[in-house]
Amino acid sequence: MREPRERAFGALPQPYLLFLGDTTEPGYAKTAFGLRDWARDSCVGEFALAGASVSTGLPRLSPAEARLRGARSMVIGVANSGGLIPDSWIGGLVEALEAGLDLVSGMHMKLSDMPALRSAADRLGRDLIDVRTPPPGIRVGSGAKRGGKRLLTVGTDCALGKKYTALAIARAFKARGVAADFRASGQTGIMIAGGGIPMDAVVSDFIAGAAEMLSPAAAPDHWDVIEGQGSLFHPAYAAVTLGLLHGSQPDLFVVCHEPGRTTMLGHPGYTLPSIETVIEQTVALGRLTNPAIRCVGISLNTATLGSDTAAALIAAESDRLGLPVADPIRGGAAFEQLIDACLA
């Protein structure tokens, strides 16, 4: 039997068709939105099942239509709670294989563990590619100080802009001639960057060591901008967040927040912490491996606000907190001030 491939990173078959399943929660479609926003030239369209109410705005195509437009693989664009592939998706995934597309997934549940998909891939000569697979040889964290500078994005919750903020900051650093790398710690970031380590797939004892591997020693003037995961206050994902914080040893961190969100994604019984509380807790816990850790600014996801409302909120929050505040996607003077603070 033909063995499907598993990859933590590497050259993925592009262009992509983005699979949205039957998703109704936009926050769970962050993989699709991330690829649309940061790898748009590699996306030909989207494919959704009956019942889906989420859309990336890309052309709605069947797998056969996408193949005619040059797509080589279909990417599962959903990152739901638990990373599960429900039975209701199997028909659509097999349809993509039959249309001549490979399947790419960042879910916890492996494509290669599903008999119906393995059988179809074997019959059709297609590949099943699971990117949520950590590299071999990860060691426990050492806590040893290493060269280079590091910035980590942290959040009041999941799926509110940590990846987008890290990508935007890394791009801004490079635009100013600063040596910098975006370090992907989740499946979408890995698909965008072509490399990284899926932190939430690492055995808990080794998360800090994986973060050290993700951001190795570098030249004194080199910046690693590290994509954050979860939230220190999330009842399900705080453990991953803490291990990434300790292993990253960030010199600086940026707090990411979505105005108007009041409860944790998928856990409505848990109220979001304030930005100030996140700063305080991140400094307190981060000092274990970097006593000099400090918050350098705030990233607000103002996608649901009008431009004038967003600008007023950004200015008011900066005055209130005494820190640079910006929406990296809107850019502008506020974002340039955040970058100035990072590089000061």
Residue 70, domain CATH: 3.40.50.720
> For residue 15, is the peptide bond before it cis, meaning its omega torsion is within 30 degrees of 0?
yes
Please enumerate in sequence order all residues whose Cβ is within 8 A of that of 5, keeping only pairs 6 or more positions apart, or say none.
127, 128, 129, 130
Contact assessment for residue 8 and residue 33, using Cβ atoms and an 8 Å cutoff: no
| 203 and 301 housed in the same domain | yes
Q: What is the pLDDT of residue 227?
A: 98
| 105 and 171 housed in the same domain | no
Task: Establish if 159 belongs to a structural domain.
Answer: yes
Helix/strand/coil (H, E, C) string of 27-51? HHHHHHHHHHHHCHHHEEEEEECCC
Ramachandran bin of 9, using left for φ above 0, alpha for ψ from -120 to 50, beta for the remaining angles: beta
Chunked in runs of 10, what are the mean pLDDT values of the chain (344 residues)?
Answer: 43 91 88 92 95 95 98 92 86 98 92 95 95 92 97 96 96 98 92 89 96 97 97 96 98 98 93 97 98 98 97 98 97 98 97
Q: What is the pLDDT of residue 8?
A: 38
| 126 and 157 housed in the same domain | no
Domain range for residue 84?
16-130
The separation between CA 90 and the C-alpha centre of its own chain, rounded to angstroms, equals 25
Number of structural domains in the chain: 2
Q: What is the pLDDT of residue 5?
A: 47
Q: Is 71 helix (H, G, I), strand (E, B) or coil?
A: coil
Q: What is the pLDDT of residue 6?
A: 44
| 278 and 186 housed in the same domain | yes
Query: In 3D, which of 191, 227, 231, 228 has the Cα closest to residue 33?
Result: 191
| 248 and 323 housed in the same domain | yes
| 159 and 227 housed in the same domain | yes
Residue 58: other Cβ atoms inside 10 A: 18
Q: What is the pLDDT of residue 295?
A: 98
Q: What is the pLDDT of residue 7?
A: 42
Dist. CA 312–CA 326, nearest whole Å = 11
- Of 130, 162, 188, the residue at which a domain comes to its end is 130
| 85 and 126 housed in the same domain | yes
Task: Establish if 9 belongs to a structural domain.
Answer: no
Q: Is 18 helix (H, G, I), strand (E, B) or coil?
A: strand
Dist. CA 209–CA 248, nearest whole Å = 9
Q: Give me the half-sphere count of Cα atoms (radius 13 Å) on the Cβ side of residue 307.
A: 4
Parallel, antiparallel or unpaired: strands 252-257 and 223-226: unpaired
Residues 145/146/150/153 CA torsion (nearest 10 deg): -60
198 exposure class (CB count in 10 Å sphere: 0-12, 13-18, 19+): buried
User: In this predicted model, what pLDDT tens digit does every residue of 183-214 receive, in sequence order?
Assistant: 999 988 988 887 899 999 999 999 999 999 99
| 323 and 245 housed in the same domain | yes
| 80 and 183 housed in the same domain | no
The separation between CA 258 and the C-alpha centre of its own chain, rounded to angstroms, equals 15
Domain with residue 255: its CATH number is: 3.40.50.300
Task: Establish if 138 belongs to a structural domain.
Answer: no
Q: Is 122 helix (H, G, I), strand (E, B) or coil?
A: helix
Dist. CA 208–CA 68, nearest whole Å = 44
| 169 and 115 housed in the same domain | no
Task: Establish if 289 belongs to a structural domain.
Answer: yes
Q: What is the pLDDT of residue 25?
A: 86
Q: What is the pLDDT of residue 83?
A: 78
